Amino acid sequence: MPLAERIGVAVDLRFSKGQEKALAEAAQACDGPVLIAWQHENISVIANFILGAQGAPKSWPGDRFDLIFVLTLNALDGRYSFAQVMQCVLAGDSERPL
Protein backbone atom coordinates (compact mmCIF):
# COMPACT_ATOMS: atom_id res chain seq x y z
CA MET A 1 0.00 0.00 0.00
CA PRO A 2 2.74 2.54 0.77
CA LEU A 3 4.25 2.11 -2.71
CA ALA A 4 0.85 2.40 -4.38
CA GLU A 5 0.09 5.55 -2.43
CA ARG A 6 3.47 7.03 -3.25
CA ILE A 7 3.15 6.48 -7.01
CA GLY A 8 -0.58 7.23 -7.09
CA VAL A 9 -2.05 3.97 -8.32
CA ALA A 10 -4.94 1.88 -7.05
CA VAL A 11 -4.27 -1.60 -5.67
CA ASP A 12 -6.32 -4.40 -7.24
CA LEU A 13 -7.24 -6.82 -4.44
CA ARG A 14 -9.67 -9.00 -6.42
CA PHE A 15 -7.42 -12.06 -6.43
CA SER A 16 -6.39 -14.39 -3.62
CA LYS A 17 -4.43 -17.62 -3.22
CA GLY A 18 -5.68 -20.19 -5.71
CA GLN A 19 -6.56 -17.55 -8.30
CA GLU A 20 -3.09 -17.20 -9.78
CA LYS A 21 -4.22 -18.03 -13.34
CA ALA A 22 -6.95 -15.38 -13.24
CA LEU A 23 -4.45 -12.89 -11.83
CA ALA A 24 -1.98 -13.66 -14.63
CA GLU A 25 -4.70 -13.21 -17.24
CA ALA A 26 -5.79 -9.89 -15.71
CA ALA A 27 -2.19 -8.66 -15.62
CA GLN A 28 -1.70 -9.55 -19.28
CA ALA A 29 -4.85 -7.61 -20.19
CA CYS A 30 -3.46 -4.38 -18.70
CA ASP A 31 -1.86 -1.66 -20.78
CA GLY A 32 1.61 -0.73 -19.58
CA PRO A 33 3.69 -2.02 -16.67
CA VAL A 34 2.13 -4.17 -13.95
CA LEU A 35 3.59 -4.83 -10.51
CA ILE A 36 2.42 -8.02 -8.84
CA ALA A 37 3.16 -8.33 -5.12
CA TRP A 38 2.32 -11.86 -4.02
CA GLN A 39 3.30 -14.45 -1.45
CA HIS A 40 6.59 -15.98 -2.53
CA GLU A 41 5.28 -19.55 -2.64
CA ASN A 42 3.21 -18.86 -5.78
CA ILE A 43 5.13 -16.14 -7.61
CA SER A 44 6.63 -18.78 -9.90
CA VAL A 45 3.15 -20.11 -10.66
CA ILE A 46 2.00 -16.66 -11.79
CA ALA A 47 5.15 -16.08 -13.85
CA ASN A 48 4.78 -19.45 -15.56
CA PHE A 49 1.13 -18.83 -16.44
CA ILE A 50 2.33 -15.72 -18.27
CA LEU A 51 5.51 -17.18 -19.76
CA GLY A 52 4.22 -20.60 -20.72
CA ALA A 53 6.61 -23.52 -21.14
CA GLN A 54 9.81 -21.47 -21.55
CA GLY A 55 9.22 -20.25 -18.03
CA ALA A 56 10.60 -19.16 -14.76
CA PRO A 57 11.97 -21.40 -12.00
CA LYS A 58 9.25 -23.80 -10.87
CA SER A 59 9.42 -22.76 -7.23
CA TRP A 60 10.55 -19.92 -5.00
CA PRO A 61 12.56 -20.90 -1.91
CA GLY A 62 11.05 -19.86 1.39
CA ASP A 63 14.23 -18.08 2.46
CA ARG A 64 14.55 -15.72 -0.53
CA PHE A 65 13.11 -12.23 -0.24
CA ASP A 66 15.82 -10.45 -2.20
CA LEU A 67 14.94 -10.75 -5.87
CA ILE A 68 12.38 -9.72 -8.43
CA PHE A 69 11.07 -11.57 -11.47
CA VAL A 70 10.80 -9.27 -14.51
CA LEU A 71 8.66 -10.32 -17.47
CA THR A 72 8.93 -8.08 -20.52
CA LEU A 73 6.50 -8.26 -23.41
CA ASN A 74 7.92 -8.15 -26.93
CA ALA A 75 5.24 -6.18 -28.78
CA LEU A 76 6.36 -7.58 -32.14
CA ASP A 77 5.80 -11.26 -31.41
CA GLY A 78 3.61 -11.14 -28.26
CA ARG A 79 6.07 -13.24 -26.26
CA TYR A 80 7.47 -12.47 -22.84
CA SER A 81 11.11 -12.63 -21.86
CA PHE A 82 12.16 -13.47 -18.31
CA ALA A 83 14.87 -12.04 -16.05
CA GLN A 84 15.71 -12.14 -12.37
CA VAL A 85 16.90 -8.95 -10.68
CA MET A 86 18.82 -9.41 -7.45
CA GLN A 87 18.06 -6.47 -5.17
CA CYS A 88 21.20 -6.65 -2.98
CA VAL A 89 19.75 -3.99 -0.69
CA LEU A 90 20.18 -5.63 2.71
CA ALA A 91 23.08 -7.41 4.35
CA GLY A 92 22.84 -11.09 3.48
CA ASP A 93 21.02 -10.58 0.18
CA SER A 94 22.24 -13.03 -2.45
CA GLU A 95 23.67 -12.15 -5.83
CA ARG A 96 22.69 -15.53 -7.29
CA PRO A 97 19.47 -16.15 -9.20
CA LEU A 98 17.13 -19.02 -8.38
- Quick check: is 76 in a domain? yes
User: What integer pLDDT is reported at residue 1 of this predicted model?
Assistant: 86
Domain count, the chain: 1
- Quick check: is 91 in a domain? no
Residue 79: band (very low, low, confident or very high) from pLDDT cuts 50, 70, 90? very high
Residue 76 has pLDDT above 80, yes or no: yes
13 lies in which domain range?
Answer: 2-86
- Quick check: is 96 in a domain? no
- Quick check: is 8 in a domain? yes
What digits encode the pLDDT tens for the residues 14-71? 999 999 999 999 999 999 899 999 988 899 999 999 998 778 998 888 889 899 999 9
- Quick check: is 92 in a domain? no
- Quick check: is 39 in a domain? yes
User: What integer pLDDT is reported at residue 68 of this predicted model?
Assistant: 94
Specify the pTM: 0.87
- Quick check: is 17 in a domain? yes
Give the per-residue SS3 of the chain. CHHHHHHCCCCCCCCCCCCHHHHHHHHHCCCCCCCCCCCHHHHHHHHHHHHHHHCCCCCCCCCCCCEEEEEEEECCCCEEEEEEEECCCCCCCCCCCC
